[in-house]
Copies of this chain bind each other. A is one copy, B any other.
Amino acid sequence: MKKYVYLFDETKASDETVILLGNKGAQLAEMTSIGLPVPPGFTITTEACNEFYKNDKNWPGNLKEQVQEQLAKVEKKMGKKFGDSENPLLFSVRSGSYVSMPGMMDTVLNLGLNDQTVKGLAKQSGNERGAYDSYRRFLQMFGDVVLGVEHSKFEGALSTLKETRGVEFDTDLSADDLKELIETYKEIIKKETGDFPNSPEEQLELSINAVFESWNTDRAVSYRRINSLRSDAGTGVNVQVMVFGNFGNDCGTGVGFTRNPATGKKEHYGEYLINAQGEDVVAGLRTPQPIDTLKKVMPEAYEELVKIYDKLEKHYKDMQDFEFTIEKEKLYMLQTRKGKRTAPAALKIAVDMFNEGLIDKKTAVMRIDPNSLNQLLHKRLDTIAKEKMIEEGALLAKGLPASPGAAVGTVVFTAEKAVELAEKGDKVVLVRMETSPEDIEGMHVAQGILTARGGMTSHAAVVARGMGTCCVAGCADISVNEEEGFFKAGGITIKEGEYITLDGSTGEVMKGQIPTVEPDISGDFGKLMSWADEFRKLSVKTNADTPKDAQKAKDFGAEGIGLCRTEHMFFEGDRIKAVREMILAKTEEGRHKALAKLEPYQQEDFEGLFRVMDGLPVIIRLLDPPLHEFLPKEAEDIEALSKEMEISVQEIKDLIEDLHEFNPMLGFRGCRLGVQYPEINAMQTRAILKAAIKVKGEGKNPMPWIEIPLVGHVKEVELIKGIIEKEAEMLGAKGKIKYKIGTMIEVPRAAITADEIADKVEFMSFGTNDLTQMGCGFSRDDSGKFLKKYVEYGIYEKDPFQSIDQEGIGKLMKICIEHSRKKNPKIHIGICGEHGGEPESVKFCHKSGLNEVSCSPFRVPIARLAAAQAAIEDKK
C-alpha cells in the first residue's frame, strides 16, 4: 500500500518532500529534525489529494487506516486522546502546497471540540474561558470552511454580543458570554446546514476533505493560472496538535522575520498578540506589539525566540518568515518559510550573508530577482503616503506599467505645452491618446508619460524606458480629449494644469501629488553586480541614440551599443526640415540636396556616440520607420510646411495620402527604403564612417557596426551591403576603421532563410518585437485589448511582448541561430528588442547560445544579473 501519511519526525525537507508533503509539511518535519519546538503531528501527502480527485472525491486506498494509525502515535506521544472528554487532544488542520498560496486554501483550528471535550479541555488547562473561546472559534471556522455557512453570520452574532455586553475586544468576553455565543453559533449552523457534527473523527474527516477541496476553488485555480503554478500539484494536509495562544496573558501568538524584510537589516523583526490565536492577527482588531517588547512580558519565551532566530538562519542560510505560538510561556514553532522581502532588503541580505560567510557569491547572485532591480534604479513613491492617498480615493485608473519610476506633475496634453511649461520650471506629466515621434521633445521634459493606447512596446513605452522616464501606457480606463484639454477616468475629469501622480512600476494613475523617494544605489548594488559579471557569459549592450543615454548605460555597465536608432536623431531642431525636404523631393537630385544637409548632423551624432563608447562596438541601424512618420499630421503644421517648402498644401496632402498605409507595420520601411532610395543609406554610411575617421583621429577607437533593418531576403542584404561597401571604399575606410556589416532578424522569412544570409554578414541581431508581431501575427499597438485575455486564459503564459514566447518565436530564433552558425561559425548574434532587458528572455538568450543582449540603459543591470543567473543555472 502506498504511504499517504508521514509523521513530522519521520522525514525532512528536500525537493522531493516539498512536492510530496507541500512546503509547510516539509518544513514542519525539517524544524522537528533540527530540534525546534514543533507540536507533533503528521502530513497527508499531495498524492492523496490528487487521488482524491481522480477517485470522485473519495479517500484513496487505506488512507483512513493510515490516518488513524499515525494519530494514535501522536496520542501516545502526547499522553492525551482525540475526543477524550477528560484529557482531549485537539488538532489544527492546515493546507499547504509546494509553494505558498497565501490565503487561497483552507485551515481549521481547535478541531476535536464538542460539548463534552470542551469541558475536559477547561478542566485539564484550568482555563475555562480559554477552552470556550477555542470552542467558539472552532465552530466559527468549521462552520465557515467545512460547512459553508457564511462567515458574516458568525461575525454578526459576535458583534451583537460585544455590543450587548458593552465591550470592545473578544478578550473582554467572559466564559459565560462565550457559552452563550456557542449556543447562538450552533443555532446558526443548524439553521443553515443541519446539526453540527459532534464526533471528532467525523470533524477530522470533513476538515481533511475541505482542505482537499480548497485546492480547486475558483480563486485557487485563478491564482495558480495568474502565477503560472502547477495545477496538478495538489495540496498536502497538515494535522498538528493544537497549542493555545488564547489561554491567558502568559499566552500569545506571533510572526517573525529573521531580518527586517523592508530594509534587510539584521535584527529581530516581528510582532505578536497576547492571549490570541493566529486569526486575530489577520483580523486586525487588536494591534500587535513589536517583538522586542516580549522581552519584558515573557523573558523566557523571548530568550528561546532569539535563539530560534539564529538557528533558523544558520540552518536555512536565508531570511525566514515564521509563525509561533506561546502557551503558558512555552514557545512552539508552527511554520517557517523563506521570507518575502523588498528589493533593497534582498540586496542587503544577499551581500551581508556573503560577508557573514553564510552563503557564497553564486548563491548571493541567485538571491536577487533581476526584475526587482527596477525599484533600486528609479525614483519611487513613498509607500505609506501612497497607500493613504489611495485609501482616500486618489486612484483614477490603472494602465500598463510601461516604464518604472514615479512621476508627479501637472497634466499637459501636447508636447509643445510640455516644453513651454518645463522651460518655466514646471513639472509636467504628458497625457496623450498615444505618442508619436513628433512628441519626443515633450517626452524628454516631462516627469512622466500617460497614454490611453498602446502596449508595453508601444512608442511611448519604448521611448520612455529608453529615457528612464516613468510611463503608464495603454490605460484603457481613461478617455483623453486632447483638443479640449482634459481626460476622464470613471466619473472624474482631470483638466490641464491639475496634478496627477503616476506609478510606472504598477501602472497606477492617481489624482494629486504623492511624495517620492529618490533611488539609493548603495555600495551593495555595485558589489553584487560585479559578482554577477564574474559569472555571466552574455555580453550586455544598450539601446541608445544619444551620447547622454549611452553614458548613462555605460555607467550601468553596458559594454557597447546594441542598437542605435538613427531616426530618433531626425526629429531634433532643423533636421526634421531637411528630412521633410528629402521626402518631398521629386528627383534623386532633390533628395541628394536634402540629404547633404542632414549628413553633418548625423556625423556629429555618431561622433558623440563613438567618443562615449571608445573601444566598444556601436551597432547603428540604418533608417527604419515608414517615411510618413516624418510628415506632419495636423492641418496647421501642413500649412506651415507648405509655406516653408514653397509647395502647395494640396501637394503635401497628396503625398501624405500617397504614403498612407493600411498596415504600416508591414509597409514601406526598413531596408525597403534603402532598396528604393539607395542615397539615404549611402548618406548614413558616409556619416558613420566619417565620424569614425574623425574620432579615430582624436586617438580613440571607434567600432561602428552598421546594421540593415527589416531584412527578409538575402538579396536585400547583398544590395544594401553593396551600397555600404561602395561608400567605405570611396572614403578609404577599408582597413582603417574596424567596421562590420550586419542585419536585423525581425521578419520571419529572414529567420527561416538565415542560412542564406549568414555568410553575407558579420553579425545578426534579433528584433524580437517585430519578430513577435509578425511571427505571432499581432501588432503591438493593437493587441493590448485581446492579449490581456489571452494571458488570463493561459493561451500565452506571459505577454509575448514582455517575455519571449519561447515555444513559438523562440523556436524560430533557434532555427535561425542553428542554421546561421552552421554556415558561418564566427557570426556574432544578439538581440536588441525590448526583451533584451527581461530576465526570462535573457536566460533564454543564454541557453540559445547568443553572444549578446541589448536593452535600454535602465535595464542593463537587470540583463547583467539575469545573464549571470542563467550561466550559474547552466552549470548546475
- Taking Cβ atoms with an 8 Å cutoff, the residues of A that contact B are 661-668, 672, 675-676, 710, 712-713, 715-716, 719, 746-749, 752-753, 756, 770, 773-779, 781-783, 785-786, 789-790, 793-796, 805, 807-809, 811-812, 815
Contacts and interface: CB of A to CB of B under 8 A. Distances in A.
Given A663-B666, A665-B666, A790-B675, A749 B781 contact: no
Contacts of A749: 775-777, 805, 808-809, 812
Contacts of A661: 779, 781-782
A483 to B, nearest CB: 14
Contacts of A777: 666, 710, 712, 746-749, 770, 774
B666 A752 contact: no
A756 B805 CA distance: 15
A662 B748 contact: no
Given A664-B663, A748-B777, A781-B662, A786 B675 contact: yes
11 contacts: A661-B782, A663-B664, A667-B779, A667-B783, A675-B789, A712-B776, A719-B793, A746-B777, A748-B775, A749-B777, A752-B811
Contacts of A719: 793, 795
Q: Tell which of A664, A756, A790 has the most Cβ of chain B within 10 Å.
A: A790
A614 to B, nearest CB: 36
A665 B795 CA distance: 20
B781 A663 contact: yes
Contact of A775 (B774, B778, B790, B796): B774
A455 to B, nearest CB: 11
A34 to B, nearest CB: 45
Given A753-B808, A753-B811, A811-B752, A667 B713 contact: no
B753 A667 contact: no
B809 A713 contact: no
Contacts of A794: 715
A794 B795 CA distance: 40
A716 B790 CA distance: 9
A777 B669 CA distance: 10
A519 to B, nearest CB: 34
B795 A748 contact: no
Nearest to A654: B479
Contacts of A746: 777
A7 B288 CA distance: 112
Nearest to A748: B748
Contact of A789 (B676, B778, B811): B676
Given A663-B773, A774-B775, 20 more contacts: A662-B781, A662-B782, A663-B779, A663-B782, A676-B789, A712-B808, A713-B795, A713-B796, A715-B795, A716-B795, A748-B748, A748-B775, A749-B775, A749-B776, A749-B805, A749-B812, A752-B775, A752-B808, A753-B807, A774-B777
A790 B712 CA distance: 12
A856 to B, nearest CB: 22
Given A747-B776, A793-B675, A667 B782 contact: yes
Contacts of A786: 668, 672, 675-676
Nearest to A668: B786
Nearest to A670: B777
A749 B808 CA distance: 6
List 8 A-B pairs, minimum CB-CB distance, nearest first.
Answer: A663-B779, A666-B779, A747-B777, A749-B808, A748-B748, A661-B782, A662-B781, A715-B795
Contacts of A715: 793-795
A231 to B, nearest CB: 14
